Amino acid sequence: MEGTLTPSPLARDRWRRFRRIPRAHRSLWILGGAFVLSLFSDLIANDRPLYLAYGGRHFFPAFKFYPETSFGGRYGTEPDYHALRESPAFRAGRGWMLFPPIPYGPIRSNLDRPDPPPHAPSWGHWLGTDSIGRDVLSRLIHGFRVCMLFALALVAVSAVLGIVIGGVQGYAGGRVDITLQRLIEIWAALPFLYVLILLGSIYGRSFSILLCVTAAFQWIGLSYYMRGEFYRLRDQTFVVASRALGAGHGRIIFQQILPNALGPVITILPFTLIAGIGTLTALDFLGFGLPPPSPSWGELLQQGLKQLYCPWIAFSAVAALFTTLMLASFIGEGVREVFDPRSKSRYD
Amino acid sequence: MSDTPLIEVRDLQVHFPVLAGVLRRPAGAVRAVDGVSFAIPRGITMGLVGESGSGKTTLGRAILNLLRVTGGRVRFEGRDITNLSAGEARPLRRRMQAIFQDPFNSLNPRLTIAQIVGEALEIHFPKMRRSERRDEVARLLGIVGLEPSHLDRYPHEFSGGQRQRIGIARALAVKPDFIVCDEPVSALDVSVQAQIINLLQDLQDEFGLTYLFIAHDLAVVEHISDHVLVMYQGKIVESAAADELYRTPSHDYTRRLLDAVPTIA
C-alpha cells in the first residue's frame, strides 16, 4: 500500500484553497500557535523561577525539584520561591533568581498583599486575582492548555471510534449495521450528565474519566457520517474493480474506501473541537468537571458569576472562551468550505 | 479439452430480494437474471445487448463471482466456479477480469496510475519488487497506448478515453484469459469509442483474449462481436451469430433494438 501517506493532489489542492480563505487560515495559525505556546505554560506562568543562582551554583527550579535545604532552608520540602527571594539568608548567599514573565502558577494563592483577594488588575497581576488570590492570567493560560488538550484528545478518540464503528456498519451492512445502529440509539439515549456524575462519584473526578465519558457520546455523530460514506463508496465502480482484482477486505477498506470517506469526518472535526471546549467549560462551571484546584475556564466563569463585583474574573474568562471558540469556528468554516463538493466536484 | 468452452453458464438465476415492512422481510424478488444459459468458446467475443435494467451487468458480475448467484451454475474451463468464497475465487481473479462502464468512477481518485494498475500485481505477485512492478506497469501503459510518464499522475488528469485505457491496463495486468467488458464505450465520445474498440480487438489478437462484451447499443456490438446474445427482462431472447442477427432478427425485441440504431440517411 505504498504512497497512501503522501498527500494526494486533492489534499494538496484543498490545503491551497484553505490558505486562500484568510480568516480561516489566520485563525488556524493563531489557535495553533497559542496551543503550542500553551504547551510551555510552565515557562510562561510559574511560581518557580526559570533560573536560580545561589552560592555559586546553578539551579533550574521550573524544571526540577529542589528541597529547601539546597538554599539554606531547614526542611526537605520545596521552597516558596517568592518568600525565598525575600529571605535575608538567601540574599546573604548572593542568591539571584529569574522568574517567568508571569511569576505566578495557576494554583498558588498570593496572600502577601495587605488587602484580601480578589485583587483588581495591577502591575503584579495583569488580570487580577480570583477569590482565593490566584493569578487569573496564569489560570487562563494553564486552563487553555488543559482545555485544548482535552478537546484535541476528544477529537482524536471520537474520530477513531466513529470511523471504526461507522465504517464497520457501512462496510458490513445488513444485520451487523441494523444491530449496531439500534445499540447506538439505545446508548445515545443515556443522559450524558448522569453517566458522568455516576462514574465521577464511583471512580473520582479526573481528566481521563471525563475524556472517556465525553468521547463515549461524542463519536456517535461522526459514526453516522462514516456509515453513510462507506455505504456510498462500497458500491462505487473502483471498489468493485478492486474486488474483481481479488483485493481482500483490508485493502479495500484502507486503500479504496477510507481515503475517500474521510472528507465529511474531517469537516466535522473542528466543530468537535468546539464541542469539546464547550463541554469541558460547562462541566467545570457546573462543578462536575476537573477536580479542584485544576486551572479551568469553567471554574473561572463560575467564580466570575459569584463575584460580579469583580468584573475582571468573568470578563477574562468570557473573553478567552469567546476568542477561542470564534477562532475554532473560523477554522471549521474554512474546512467546510474547502470540502464542499458543490464548490468543486469531489472527483475532479 | 479444446471442445470445452471457456465459460459455460447454465440456467443462471440472480434474484435480489425486495424488502418490505418495518422488519424488512423479503416480500418478493427482482429476477435480474432469470434462467440464462449459454457458452463462450475460447478466443471469441460474445456480445450481450439489452436495454437498461435487462440484467446484463448483473450477469457479467455473476460470472465474475462479484455477487451471489441464486441458482444455476457457472463453469470456467469446465470447473464449477459458482459462489466461490473470496479466498477460493482469488486464483480465478487472475484468469478473468473486468472493464467497467464509467471511466470516471472506475478509478480511485486518490491513487496514482502506478498504484491503480499496480494493485493487481501487488495482490497476485506479492514478491515482486517495487521497481519491477513500476516497469511492468509502464509496459502495460505502453500496450494500451499511454506514456510511461503517466505513471505518477492521478485519474483526474486524464480524459475519458485515457481513463478507459487505464482501466484496460489494470485488467491486463494479471494476464487474464477472459474479460467482461461492461459497456466499456457507452460513456465515451463516438470518435473515442472507435479507438477503444480497435484497441480491444488488437489486444484480443495479441493475447488471445475471450470477451463478454456488454452494450446497450447494437451498432457497437455488431462491430466487435462474433456471436450476440439479446437479453430482455432477465432472459436471453435471442442468440445468433452477429451478421445473422442483423440480417434476420427473429425476436420482436431484437427488431425493436435494431430499429433504434440511428442511421445516417
Asked if A347's CB is within 8 angstroms of B109's CB, the reply is: yes
Which residues lie across from A65 on neighbouring strands? none
Question: Are residues A61 and A156 located together in one domain of the fold?
Answer: no
Residue A332's nearest CA partner among A265, A277, A269, A263 is A269
B207 Cβ contact partners less than 8 Å away, ≥ 6 residues apart: B172, B175
What is the ipTM, given to two decimal places?
0.89
pLDDT at residue A112 in the model = 78
**Residues A135-145: what's their mean pLDDT?**
93
Residues of B in contact with A10 (CB under 8 A): 109-110, 154
The closest CB to that of A241, out of B100, B109, B122, belongs to B100
Name the phi and psi angles at B19, rounded to 5. Answer: -90, 140
Question: Are residues A162 and A216 located together in one domain of the fold?
Answer: yes
Question: Are residues A270 and A190 located together in one domain of the fold?
Answer: yes
Number of compact structural domains in chain A: 2
Question: Are residues A57 and A29 located together in one domain of the fold?
Answer: no
Task: Indicate whether A114 belongs to any domain.
Answer: no
Question: Nearest-CA residue of chain A relative to B130?
Answer: A2
Asked if A259's CB is within 8 angstroms of B154's CB, the reply is: no
Residues of chain B below pLDDT 70 = 1-2, 263-265
- Asked whether residue A5 carries a pLDDT value surpassing 60, the answer given is no
pTM of the model: 0.84
Residues of A in contact with B155 (CB under 8 A): 347
Give the range of the structural domain holding residue A153, as residue numbers without chain letter.
9-40+138-347
State pLDDT tens for residues A275-310.
Answer: 999 999 999 999 888 888 889 999 999 999 998 888
Q: What is the CATH number of the domain that holds A262?
A: 1.10.3720.10
Task: Indicate whether A251 belongs to any domain.
Answer: yes
Task: Indicate whether A173 belongs to any domain.
Answer: yes
Task: Indicate whether A4 belongs to any domain.
Answer: no
The residue type at B89:
A
CA distances from B3 to A30, B204, B229, B240 (A): 75, 20, 20, 19
The residue that leads in pLDDT, B127 or A111, is: B127
The closest CB to that of A241, out of B130, B170, B174, belongs to B170
Residues of A in contact with B97 (CB under 8 A): 244-245
- Looking at the complex, report in whole angstroms how far the Cα of residue A192 sits from the nearest Cα belonging to chain B: 30
Task: Indicate whether A115 belongs to any domain.
Answer: no
Question: Are residues A21 and A89 located together in one domain of the fold?
Answer: no
pLDDT at residue A346 in the model = 44
The closest CB to that of A238, out of B101, B108, B156, belongs to B108
Treating both helix axes as pointing N-terminal to C-terminal, what angle do A258-286 and A311-339 enclose, rounded to 10 degrees?
Answer: 170
Task: Indicate whether A119 belongs to any domain.
Answer: no
Task: Indicate whether A291 belongs to any domain.
Answer: yes
Question: Nearest-CA residue of chain A relative to B174?
Answer: A245
Question: Are residues A215 and A291 located together in one domain of the fold?
Answer: yes
Asked if A246's CB is within 8 angstroms of B93's CB, the reply is: yes
pLDDT at residue A1 in the model = 41
- Asked whether residue A2 carries a pLDDT value surpassing 60, the answer given is no
Give the number of other Cβ atoms within 10 Å of residue A185's Cβ: 10
pLDDT at residue B263 in the model = 67
Under the banding of pLDDT at 50, 70 and 90, the label for residue A128 is confident
The closest CB to that of A246, out of B24, B123, B167, belongs to B123
Task: Indicate whether A131 belongs to any domain.
Answer: no
Question: Nearest-CA residue of chain A relative to B170?
Answer: A245
Note whether A313 and A328 are within 8 A (CB): no
Question: Are residues A95 and A232 located together in one domain of the fold?
Answer: no
Question: Are residues A28 and A84 located together in one domain of the fold?
Answer: no
Question: Are residues A82 and A159 located together in one domain of the fold?
Answer: no
